[in-house]
Chain A
Amino acid sequence: MTIFSPRRFWAMVVKEFVQMRRDRVTFAMMIGIPLMQLILFGFAINSNPQNLPLAVLSNDDSEFSRTLVTAMQNSLYYRVTNVISHESEARKLLDRGEVLFVLTIPQDFGRLLARGDRPTVLVEADASDPTATGFALGSLDYLFSQSLNRDLLGPLLSLRAQPGPVDLRIHRLYNPEIQTKYNIVPGLMGVVLTMTMVIITALAITRERERGTMENLLCTPVRPFEVMIGKIVPYIVVGYIQMLLIIVAAKVIFEVPILGSLPLLLAVSILFIAANLAVGITFSTVAQNQLQAMQMAFFFFLPSILLSGFMFPFQGMPQWAQWLGSVLPLTHYLRIVRGIVLKGNGFADIAPELWPMAAFLLVMMVVAVKRYRQTVD
């Protein structure tokens, strides 16, 4: 009795494909979930938040400083909620989340500006939610030079030249990694794959048990490992379809620049997809029914989203959370995707993230095959 027979494995694959084709609901879910998530997260990114609270700490009351504040108000991104006179107050407001920005105008700002000394204007921002503050901060440079330029008349005209009349300093607090909006869309690829792949396979074996087809399957010579990978392989194909969907959306709708090699990304993704499928298969060997399988999938999905660095910057998490996060495939995959897409990483750069996923996959497969009962009791 062979441990693995390609023929029996292929029988499983063919069957799964036919069933997948017939199961419209699941099929719709496989395409629908990526689209839905893209819309949810994607438009959260594009929603361009306005009227964000701003505290102003002005040590100068020249016409120029008033111009700056007015310009910020007029841009609609900012809304002055506090006028303060002390540095300590600024930090307090930011800490408490009462304001997202503090504008600090130095002493003698107007005089320095008129002299062409490019005075420093400091904007401190709560960057823990980069999607909220990104647009507002991005507009500042342009806002300042445009508004001041209008005031720079006559002898001051020469100051309009580059590099601009003021020296704008932006301090992003709470988010040293400076996540940008680009971080999210590639990250979504990992999130969507985690969600759909785990759910789909978590249902795979449970469904056979619930429908009673397991009884027939167990009576055939098919081996546990053949059932497992026979159920994994068809969904790898699905995973790739989802990936392509997101990549196209990232490029076309969200205009995320893809710096690294797409083939490399596609190649290493197989490890991540397989790891998630193995999790699902493991769940489905444990779950008594499809509802339980579904719940388990969500229990896996939550920490994956929270601890992987998708929602919160990984470095900012407490040590224990980082350890937990390091076990999850999504953590490593996010680094790979962001590395390849945003930083143009090559294979050597991402290699260290591959083996933890491979180890995870291996452990999951062993657990699944061990848990797969060959009897019906």
Chain B
Amino acid sequence: MTLPGPQASQSRPAIDVTGITKSFGGKVVVNNLSLRVEQGEIYGFLGPNGSGKTTFIRMLCGLLKPDSGSGQCLGMDVIRDAALIKTRVGYMAQKFSLYGDLSVRENLDFMARVYGVPDRKAAVSHSIERMSLARYADQLAQTLSGGWKQRLALAASLIHGPELLLLDEPTAGVDPKARRDFWDEVHELAGQGLTALISTHYMDEAERCHRLAYIAYGDLLAKGTVEEVVAARGLTTWEVSGPELYELAHTLKTLPGVEQVAHFGNTLHVSGPDRALLAASLAPFHQGPQNFREVATSLEEVFISMMNDSLKGGKG
């Protein structure tokens, strides 16, 4: 279920970096990462906690200096033109980083001033309008709920009309309705030509992106559209339904060719990399009380599989 991608890769990409590496105290946090994001694209950036997503995004907007690597962002050199890039990028940090002791309007006003937005008052009012923040305009930011804080942060990162949005786990801790609204907003912006790089670890959000990259413990493990990523992993998945699934799960886990067994509501998902081997292993169980049927592998299984591999690879 790929979303219609952006108008074919015209001109230069919004982000094009190669070999970006960053270590903290000898520990490699982002390892030789290369990424290309086309203009107007919504690019998902996935990976478990502590895998270096925040670190990578911070390097893109000049908050951190890469140890090595190079590339460009909106046609400007990521290292040399960091100051210039800042004027054309909107960044939303993982942790709310606007001023809690300023009101919604004051926060937006501050950002508009700092960026030198022309006709500031109107821009702020428009932004409040657009994000439906009017009800909270004069409320202190620290008193807003998570979802509204996130809307304010999005409004702030958009106030100067950036060409590229870097959103770091924008929907963490936000209720489903607010998440839905948020993504609708992002898609509307992308429709107007804005590029967005969004980190998340919600699978359903990954599927709302045009393309995505998966990074685990510093290493980029896969990139492409959801279909491409799933296909590239080559997993086979069976869905099991019926009684006594808990007992069954323990048994299935030990079988050859079974890589993961996960509970999905009243069903089990069993997947493995070798189609024939998995089918052979499961065959004897078809006589049991449960129903077996092959289903499409989801992104989640792919990511878990990749994460397991990278953990086995001695990283962590």
Contacts and interface: CB of A to CB of B under 8 A. Distances in A.
Contact of A19 (B61, B98, B101, B114): B101
A121 to B, nearest CB: 66
A7 B113 contact: yes
Nearest to A20: B101
Interface residues of B, number: 32
Nearest to B84: A1
A19 to B, nearest CB: 5
Given A11-B113, A11-B114, A19 B99 contact: yes
Interface stretch (A27-35, A209-217, A307-315, A361-369): A209-217
Contact of B99 (A5, A8, A15, A221): A15
B311 interface: no
A291 interface: no
B255 interface: no
A250 to B, nearest CB: 35
A219 B58 CA distance: 9
A220 B106 contact: no
A376 B63 contact: yes
B277 interface: no
Interface residues of A, number: 27
Given A11-B114, A212-B96, A18 B61 contact: no
Contacts of B99: 15, 19, 213
Interface string B65-100: 100000000000000000110110101010111111
Given A8-B113, A219-B86, A377 B64 contact: yes
A32 B91 CA distance: 40
B63 A375 contact: yes
Contacts of B115: 220-221
A221 B97 CA distance: 16
A23 interface: yes
B191 interface: no
B83 to A, nearest CB: 5
A222 interface: yes
A15 B110 CA distance: 7
Given A14-B110, A212-B95, A7 B65 contact: no
A275 to B, nearest CB: 27
Contacts of B106: 15, 18
Report the 5 A-B pairs with minimum CB-CB distance, sorted nearest first: A11-B113, A216-B97, A215-B97, A219-B91, A215-B93
Interface of B: 24, 58, 61-65, 83-84, 86-87, 89, 91, 93, 95-102, 106, 109-111, 113-116, 140, 156
